[in-house]
């Protein structure tokens, strides 16, 4: 009996060693960092510290066993900040099939080298990309970093020309971490220039989301001035959520909403019936979108109960959507809105515009106590005899806003993504 146990144990050890050996032959070695830069794509630093080589190979070898399981995921790609989400993503993005492909210490060139096996092999449904800060620590110039970013984007687009790509601005850090604010801002400027005008890519302003007045990270969110804590990850998740909802990853079910008596919906939640474009000077109707889920240019879209003003690929583009109906009587207008970081929009009341923005970052009302960044907020406008009283979550925005005697309701698009829902109006006798 004893001899049988020994022989079985020996057999299992042999099988295990054979498995490990076969992994090395079949793929383990190909997941190691190349010994030299010869023939590798991109430019700039590739880290070869022993700890990084060990982590790189361990992570990538493990991911190779999960390709089938992670197929079709929303892939988060980057360095330690992405790795810090963990496999459970800190409780965020529930219901979304996500895969974490962040490696602590990685650079843009490192990501470029491993892109095929770690990301493209999954045939991802979308990619959230954050990379570049470690290149700075290694002394790379922003132009080199941006050049690698272009190659990463080109490879993703070649693999799938319709897959949404969310490019996060490089987070603020500190000169004490060899990541000075001016260099990070330069990277972000070059990143934007590299993708400007590409509708497949949405740039998320995660730099402004976190930066203090000097452009550095805040200790309350980045204790070591480099890596976010739970508060930092919560803010990142909140900033991503509206974009993921627009791309169909989240919030695919329209939540129930009980409208107050006497109010009429101006937006049915399903299409743009009752809305259209007007000549900005004469206010004459130039297009109507009854029964359509999007304006002809795609800027305004009805998605699962939300009227979405999408992020313009060129960064900023002023545009206006108007109700086809006009409102000569006194009325109460109510609506909810949600803005990505630093997004800028507006609500036209007959014609004058009430600024509707990510107020804390974009102003003009930066001191609101009840405003909820990257979450739903409610604006209430009471129009009586040519004067509009406007509030956000009960806080006064403008108590005496002069408006014309008649006109439609409008929604402006400028920068970032804005969403509106539960747009309703009650006429007053």
d(CA 113, CA 148): 10
Residue 117 lies inside a defined structural domain of this protein = yes
Tokens of 286: 């130039």
Task: Check whether residue 197 and residue 299 sit in a common domain.
Answer: no
The answer to the question of residue 392 being in a domain is yes
294 and 418 part of one domain: yes
What is the residue range of 117's domain?
24-246
Q: Is the peptide bond prior to 364 cis by the omega test (within 30 degrees of 0)?
A: yes
Query: Average pLDDT of each block of 10 consecutive residues along the chain (429 residues)?
Result: 47 41 48 95 97 97 97 98 97 97 98 98 98 98 98 98 98 98 98 98 98 98 98 98 98 90 96 96 95 97 98 96 98 98 98 97 97 98 98 98 97 97 96
CB 77 within 8 A of CB 131: yes
Is pTM beyond 0.75? Reply is yes
66, part of any domain: yes
The DSSP secondary structure of 200-237, one letter per residue, reads TEEEE-HHHHH--TTSPPPTTT-TTSSS--HHHHHHHH
b/e for 222-258, b at 16 or more Cβ within 10 A?
beebbbbeeebbebbbbbbbbbbbbbebbbeeeeeee
pLDDT of residue 29: 65
195 with 287, same domain?
no
Of 333, 329, 332, 354, nearest in space to 411 by CA: 354
For residues 83 and 151, state if they share a domain: yes
333 CA to centre of own chain: 29
Choosing from 246, 275, 295, the residue where a domain stops is 246
CATH number of the domain enclosing 112: 3.40.50.1110
pLDDT in tens, 356-389: 999 999 999 999 999 999 999 999 999 999 999 9
Distance between CA atoms of residues 4 and 226, nearest Å? 56
Residue 258 lies in a domain: no
Q: Is the same domain home to 349 and 401?
A: yes
Same domain, 146 and 283: no
Domains contained in the chain, number: 2
Whether 320 and 228 map to the same domain: the answer is no
Whether residue 157 lies inside any domain: the answer is yes
Residue 386 placed within a domain: yes
Number of other residues whose CB lies within 10 A of the CB of residue 65:
10
Do 343 and 219 fall within a single domain? no
Residues 6+ apart with CB under 8 A from 421: 257, 267, 269, 305, 306, 307, 335, 336, 337, 376
Domain identity same for 127 and 206: yes
Question: Does some domain include residue 6?
Answer: no
Q: How far apart are CA 318 and CA 299, in angstroms?
A: 11
Cβ(383)–Cβ(404) under 8 Å?
A: no
Quick check: is 378 in a domain?
A: yes
- Do residues 238 and 270 both lie within one domain? no
Residues 303 and 391 in one domain: yes
- Claim to verify: residue 203 and residue 285 sit in the same structural domain: no
**CATH code (residue 392):** 2.60.120.560
């Amino acid at each position: 009996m004893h001899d049988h146990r020994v022989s079985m144990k020996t057999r299992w050890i042999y099988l295990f060693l054979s498995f490990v050996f076969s992994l090395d032959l079949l793929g383990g070695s190909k997941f190691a960092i190349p010994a030299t830069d010869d023939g590798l794509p991109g430019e700039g630093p590739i880290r070869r510290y022993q700890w990084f080589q060990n982590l790189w190979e361990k992570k990538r070898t493990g991911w190779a066993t999960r390709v089938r399981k992670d197929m079709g995921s929303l892939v988060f790609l980057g360095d330690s900040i992405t790795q810090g989400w963990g496999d459970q993503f800190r409780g965020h993005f529930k219901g979304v099939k996500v895969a974490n492909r962040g490696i602590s210490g990685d650079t843009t060139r490192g990501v470029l080298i491993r892109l095929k096996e770690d990301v493209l092999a999954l045939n991802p449904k979308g990619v959230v990309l954050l990379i570049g800060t470690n290149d700075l620590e290694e002394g790379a110039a922003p132009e080199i970093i941006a050049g690698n970013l272009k190659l990463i984007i080109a490879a993703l687009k070649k693999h799938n020309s319709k897959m949404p790509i969310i490019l996060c601005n490089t987070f603020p850090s500190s000169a004490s971490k060899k990541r000075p604010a001016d260099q990070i801002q330069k990277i972000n400027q070059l990143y934007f220039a590299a993708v400007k005008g590409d509708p497949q890519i949405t740039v998320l302003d995660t730099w402004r989301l976190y930066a203090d007045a000097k452009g550095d990270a805040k200790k309350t969110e980045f204790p070591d001035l480099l890596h976010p804590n739970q508060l930092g990850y919560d803010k990142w998740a909140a900033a991503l959520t509206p974009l993921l909802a627009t791309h169909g990853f989240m919030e695919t079910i329209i939540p129930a909403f009980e409208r107050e008596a006497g109010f009429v919906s101006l937006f049915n939640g399903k299409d743009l019936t009752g809305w259209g474009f007007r000549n900005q000077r004469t206010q004459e109707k130039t297009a109507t979108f009854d029964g359509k889920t999007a304006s002809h240019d795609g800027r305004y879209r009805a998605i699962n109960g939300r009227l979405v003003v999408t992020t313009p690929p060129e960064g900023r583009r002023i545009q206006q959507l108007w109700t086809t109906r006009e409102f000569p009587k006194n009325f109460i207008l109510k609506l909810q809105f949600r803005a990505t970081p630093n997004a800028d929009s507006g609500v036209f009341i007959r014609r004058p515009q009430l600024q509707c923005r990510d107020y804390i970052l974009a102003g003009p009302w930066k001191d609101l106590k009840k405003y909820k960044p990257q979450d739903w907020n409610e604006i209430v406008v009471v129009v009586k005899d040519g004067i509009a009283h406007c509030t956000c979550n009960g806080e006064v925005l403008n108590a005496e806003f002069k408006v014309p005697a008649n006109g439609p309701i409008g929604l402006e698009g400028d920068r970032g993504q804005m969403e509106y829902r539960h747009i309703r109006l009650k006429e007053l006798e």
